[in-house]
């Protein structure tokens, strides 16, 4: 299954590398990414769609992402059924 992820993160250098590295640790490959400004200047919203992966891998990755200091708030995840 492919997934859509939305995260609010600190708007600073190195954040994208931390996020993609964490996803990579769980074998999750990114299909597309978009960065949008957030309601506060110090933050940004990152939107990802992934290639197919197991839900268990995605759940583990979300848990790990939530522990990063640069991730703020809840991480939204939706399945993409094609």
Q: What's 51's domain CATH number? A: 3.30.70.260
How many domains does one find in the chain? 1
pLDDT at 49 exceeding the cut of 90: yes
Partners of 47 in beta bridges? 6, 34
Give the model's pLDDT for residue 8: 95
**40: which residues sit within 8 A by CB, 6+ positions away?**
none
Give the model's pLDDT for residue 35: 94
Rounded mean pLDDT, 36-61: 93
Model confidence pLDDT, tens digit, residues 8-46: 999 999 999 999 999 999 999 999 999 998 788 899 999
The domain containing residue 53 runs over which residues? 2-80
Give the model's pLDDT for residue 10: 95
Give the Cβ contact number of residue 1 at 10 Å: 12
Give the model's pLDDT for residue 19: 97
């Amino acid at each position: 299954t492919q997934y859509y992820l939305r995260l609010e993160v600190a708007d600073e250098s190195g954040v994208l590398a931390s996020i993609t590295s964490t996803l990579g640790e769980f074998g999750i490959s990114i299909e597309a990414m978009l960065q949008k400004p957030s309601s506060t200047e110090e933050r940004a919203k990152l939107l990802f769609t992934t290639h197919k992966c197991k839900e268990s891998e995605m759940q583990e990755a979300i848990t790990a992402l939530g522990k990063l200091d640069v991730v703020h708030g809840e991480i939204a995840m939706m399945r993409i059924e094609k």
